[in-house]
């Protein structure tokens, strides 16, 4: 025991070396199973490896996600710009289609009613204080346009020219209170005195004995005033009879939607 006490450090070193040599021998010979300590160490190392692996994968995926967000944002902005451009092009296309349709309709009307000479015109602006009662067109004296010329559409009467410059003209529409002219009921041949009224309507006055009724069509008489004969004015929607009055009052809806004017024809 005295000897072990004096040489215990050397004995310990020898035991450690022996264990290492034995371990090397066993490993070099190949084994099917590992020892319990090796299993614990291997398990611990594997768990740590998996933690590092999944952590690195998470970081990598997160980075890719952030990168994708930037790409998606950029792509989304490109798509929004394309959508705006598409809507703008679609609007322009629809305007062109509508304008071509209107111009074709006016051309057909001119060919079918060749008894008059016409000037085609486009609406440039309206008077903001008067609404669609007065508007400006892009034809003037240089195009042969003169005062009191009749302005129409295929559907019917629009108004008359009241002011002319070299390249533009001002038109007073039939719904203006200062617009007064004579019409005739197509069905009964009763004459109607017509003036502009509020709410894009016309007001007419006929003899109390007239048989005019709602649904009747009114055209220009051509007897007085500047308007040509037999141009459609509108449809009677109401007849008002007041006791003791010599005339009946009729409410007429214009044949032309004046608030949607784009192109018109001027009868020279």
Digit-coded pLDDT (tens) for 77-135? 777 777 776 666 656 556 566 666 666 666 676 666 778 889 999 999 987 676 778 99
Does residue 8 surpass a pLDDT of 60?
no
CB atoms within 10 A of CB 65: 9
* Band (18; pLDDT cuts 50, 70, 90): low
Please give the share of the chain, as a percent, with pLDDT higher than 90. 39
In this structure, the chain runs to a length of 268
- Domain 118-173 fold is Thrombin, subunit H (2.40.10)
pLDDT for the residue 9? 53
- Cα–Cα distance for residue pair 169/71, rounded to 1 Å: 56
- Residue 124 token pair: 């440039």
The DSSP line for 125-169 is EEETTTEEEEEEES--GGGT--TT-EEE-SSSEEEEEEEE-SS-E
pTM above 0.75, yes or no: no
CB atoms within 10 A of CB 117: 10
Distance of CA 228 to the CA centre of its chain: 39
pLDDT tens for each residue of 198-247: 788 999 999 988 999 999 999 999 876 678 889 999 999 999 987 777 89
Alpha helices in 29-129 (DSSP H): 36-112
- Residue 178 token pair: 């200062």
- Domain 180-255 fold is Thrombin, subunit H (2.40.10)
| Closest alpha carbon to 205 in 168, 222, 180 | 180
- Cα–Cα distance for residue pair 16/234, rounded to 1 Å: 119
């Amino acid at each position: 025991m005295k000897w072990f006490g004096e040489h215990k450090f050397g004995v310990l070193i020898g035991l450690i070396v022996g264990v290492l040599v034995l371990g090397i021998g066993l490993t070099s010979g190949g084994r099917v199973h590992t020892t319990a300590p090796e299993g614990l160490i291997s398990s611990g190392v594997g768990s740590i490896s998996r933690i590092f692996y999944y952590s690195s994968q998470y970081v990598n995926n997160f980075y890719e996600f952030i990168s994708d967000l930037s790409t998606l944002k950029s792509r989304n902005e490109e798509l929004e710009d394309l959508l705006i451009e598409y809507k703008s092009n679609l609007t322009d296309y629809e305007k062109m289609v509508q304008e071509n349709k209107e111009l074709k309709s006016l051309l057909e009307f001119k060919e079918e009613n060749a008894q008059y000479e016409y000037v085609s015109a486009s609406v440039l602006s309206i008077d903001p204080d008067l609404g669609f009662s007065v508007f400006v067109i892009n034809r003037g004296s240089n195009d042969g346009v003169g005062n009191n010329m009749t302005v129409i559409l295929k559907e019917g009467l629009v108004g008359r020219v009241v002011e002319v410059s070299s390249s533009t003209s001002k038109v007073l529409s039939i719904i203006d209170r200062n617009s007064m002219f004579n019409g005739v009921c197509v069905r009964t041949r009763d004459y109607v005195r017509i003036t502009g009224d509020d709410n894009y309507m016309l007001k007419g006055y006929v003899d109390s004995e007239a048989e005019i009724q709602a649904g009747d069509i009114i055209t220009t008489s051509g007897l007085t005033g500047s308007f040509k004969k037999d141009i459609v004015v509108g449809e009677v929607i109401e007849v008002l009879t007041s006791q003791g009055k010599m005339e009946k009052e009729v409410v007429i809806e214009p044949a032309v939607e004046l608030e949607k004017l784009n192109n018109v024809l001027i009868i020279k």
